[in-house]
Amino acid sequence: MQRRSRKYEKTVKEPIRKCRQTEKKRSAIWGLENMNRIRRRNGFWRNASGKRSVADFRHLIREYPLIMEDDGTINGGCFRVKSENLRKNLAGCDSVLVMAVTVGAQVDRLLARYGKLSVAKAVVMQAAAAAMVEAYCNELNAGWKKEYLEKGLYLRPRFSPGYGDFPLSAQKEILDGLEAGKRIGITLTEGYLMMPSKSVTAVIGVSRTPAACTIEGCEACGKKDCAFRRCQD
């Protein structure tokens, strides 16, 4: 068996080896601190001309009167549900804002493509996309909070189906009430998961009095034995 020539080693094998080493280094240091760069490079953010952006930011919001029924049911206009966690969040509220947000189906297609090319990059892209839709929700929330404050009203932290004992099945009523499928393209699977996957539904309480403190995330959830709980009581 003939030995490989030095030319082969230099022109073929060496570049391949360097490429693999570079890929390993990138995978090792590819963290959340590089998310903005990744989003921009892969078209997650809209640029000035509107080109190269796969994200299609859309949202719907409607205000409904809030009725707390005697049997513990929460009537939020387009949905009716029993949830002790949501009831606590909406205590003292007269109405609710019901919202649906998405960054579009193209983001899902981009994530699927990266899932086939590189597992490491796909994981980071998933995290970047999740952070992106959350940031979009926060931006909208801040605008609504300012708008309602000018009216002398206060908003409670948004509360999504799946938080605590707020059933995921409530998403169907919320999306149907907002006509989200027809208007911004959000649909549900049989397991009540939204498509596009980077979408959010939530309920925000509207009150005439400010809450004593803002409680959200793990602090608002009553499931204290959760393995992923951020705080310990």
What pTM was computed for the model?
A: 0.70
Look at 208 and 28; give whichever has higher pLDDT: 208
* Whether the Cβ atoms of residue 48 and residue 80 lie closer than 8 Å to each other: no
For residue 8, what pLDDT is reported? Answer: 52
For 61-70, what is each residue's pLDDT tens digit? 999 999 999 8
pLDDT at 119: 85
Domain 56-104+131-211 CATH class label: alpha beta
Q: What's the pLDDT tens digit per position in 88-104?
A: 999 999 999 999 999 99
Q: Is the pLDDT of residue 130 over 50?
A: yes
φ, ψ for residue 200, nearest 5 deg: -140, 140
Task: Name the percent of the chain in helix, strand, coil, to the closest 5.
Answer: 45, 20, 40
Average pLDDT of the residues of the chain? 79
- Identify the CA nearest to 110 among candidates 130, 125, 131, 120: 125
Q: Supply the pLDDT for residue 157.
A: 92
- Range 21-27 average pLDDT: 45
Per the DSSP assignment, residues forming a β-bridge with 150 are none
Could you tell me what percent of the chain has a pLDDT over 70?
A: 69
pLDDT tens per residue across span 27-62: 333 333 344 444 444 445 444 444 456 788 999 999
Q: Are 220 and 89 within 8 A, CB to CB?
A: yes
pLDDT tens-digit map of 166-203: 999 999 999 999 999 999 999 999 989 999 999 999 99
Integer angstrom CA distances of residue 161 from 34, 169, 174, 197, 205? 30, 7, 10, 14, 14
Q: Is residue 120's pLDDT more than 50? A: yes
How would you label 200-215 residue by residue, b for 16+ Cβ within 10 Å and e otherwise? bbbbbbbbeeebeeee
d(CA 56, CA 183): 13
Q: How many CB atoms lie within 10 A of CB 186?
A: 26
